[in-house]
Amino acid sequence: MDFNQIQDLIKLVAKTGVSEVKIDQGDLKLTIKGEQKHTEPTVVYQTSNVAPAVAPVATPSVAVAPATPSKEEVKTAVVEDSKLVTIKSPMIGTFYRSSSPDKPAFAQVGDSISKGQVVCLIEAMKLFNDIEAEISGKIVKVLVDDATPVEYDQPLFLVDPA
């Protein structure tokens, strides 16, 4: 293959939009890569913990502005949250709502609790620690799922003081 043939081949690749051409003729190994056209990115959804077999595709970042709440919504949220007291985790460990899976939860949403009442357990280093309510009131929301890890000072319950 001479220089003119290679030049014609390069022009043909550029004209047709082919991404890559490889030619192997004895000693001659020729690879011509055309211009990379920007197309829509391919989105690959991964549902397992196994790494994908293909390289990740760079996708353009899109900023989405969060919806801003109105002043009235902010005021009512502040008023509602200001009266609620948070029971927080005093340690790192695993949060349990009951003493065993077949027993009822220590505290459910809507239950009235008193100061010193056990509201949950936190397992740390194979020891189960009773977590007691610091105030009396009514459980408004449970913020942690059963049998999940919790951090120090992580909110566990929202309580409406009575």
**Closest among 37, 29, 32 to 21, alpha carbons compared:** 32
For 84-161, CATH number out of 2.40.50.100, 3.10.20.30, 2.40.70.10, 3.40.640.10 equals 2.40.50.100
Tokens of 156: 């566990």
pLDDT at residue 62, rounded to an integer: 46
Cβ–Cβ under 8 Å, residues 105 and 131: no
pTM: 0.51
pLDDT at 36: 60
Specify the residue for token string 């566990």. Answer: 156
Sheet arrangement for strand 127-132: 127-132, 118-124, 93-96, 148-150
Strand partners, 157: 87, 142
CB 156 within 8 A of CB 134: no
Give the pLDDT of the chain (162 residues) as one tens digit per residue: 677 777 787 777 777 777 777 877 777 777 877 766 555 555 554 454 545 455 555 544 444 444 555 545 544 444 455 689 999 999 999 999 999 999 999 999 999 999 999 999 999 999 999 999 999 999 999 999 999 999 999 999 999 996
Residues in the chain: 162
- The CATH 2.40.50.100 portion of the chain extends over 84-161
Q: What's the pLDDT at 97?
A: 95
Which pLDDT belongs to residue 25?
A: 77
The pLDDT, as a whole number, for residue 20 is 77
